[in-house]
Amino acid sequence: MTKLEELKRHLKPGQAYRRADLARWSTSVDRHLKQLVADGTLNKLSGGLYVYPKETVFGPAPASDNDVVCAFLKDDAFLLASPNAYNSLGVGTTQLYDKTVVYNHKRHGEFQLGNRKYAFRVKPRFPKSLTKEFLLVDLVNNVDQLAEAKDEVLKRIAERAADADPKRLQRAVREYGSERAKKFFERALRASELHAA
């Protein structure tokens, strides 16, 4: 068995790899990477980042965003989000965005990995998964970046805040909200309490 075949045996379909991951199975990793990309075994996503596509009945499937980002960051402490997730809140956001936001502790900036665009945002804290409360807070944090009419969206968010679980929403505001978001939700929650009384 050649060294190249031996390296291939370690590859798992659908996985993303850094050059450093593959170096442990190869004595001439750069030459082997060139050969594996040339013969279509691996696809290069960006400098030092590769994917071994999974074969499906529809052709090769790309690695999941989760695997790609995990390999890129060399870390699994991140949260994948998208401005499209705001559309599920029923606050009047309907635009579709071709961008995945990655909240993490290490990298900041826009990166093209393969044919996907990722916006990496360094945040001190973020939840393990997207919750309705986090999305409401995140939407207020990022409302200036949306294509929709800001005032309309903020009015609807205030209405949704009144329907949300107040304890969970207050915790999300405290942990993830910008100063502007904290003030916004403080006013919205006070108004809903007055309205309820």
Domain range list for the chain: 3-63, 67-196
pTM summary value: 0.82
pLDDT confidence of residue 132 = 92
Cβ(52)–Cβ(116) under 8 Å? no
pLDDT at 197 over 70: no
Cβ(163)–Cβ(155) under 8 Å? no
Distance, C-alpha 85 to centroid of its chain: 11
Q: What is the mean pLDDT of residues 34-38?
A: 93
- The token duo for 39 is 């013969």
Mean pLDDT of the chain: 89
Cβ(63)–Cβ(51) under 8 Å? yes
CATH, domain 3-63, list 2.40.128, 1.10.3470, 1.10.10, 1.10.20: 1.10.10
| Dihedral sign from CA coordinates of 149, 152, 156, 157 | positive
DSSP secondary structure, 23-63, as one string: HTT-SSHHHHHHHHHHTTSSEEEETTEEEEPEEETTEEEPP
Please name the amino acid found at residue 35: Q
The model's pLDDT over 143-153, given as tens digits with 9 standing for 90+, comes to: 888 777 888 88
pLDDT at 196 over 60: no
| Dihedral sign from CA coordinates of 23, 27, 30, 33 | negative
| Dihedral sign from CA coordinates of 151, 144, 112, 89 | negative
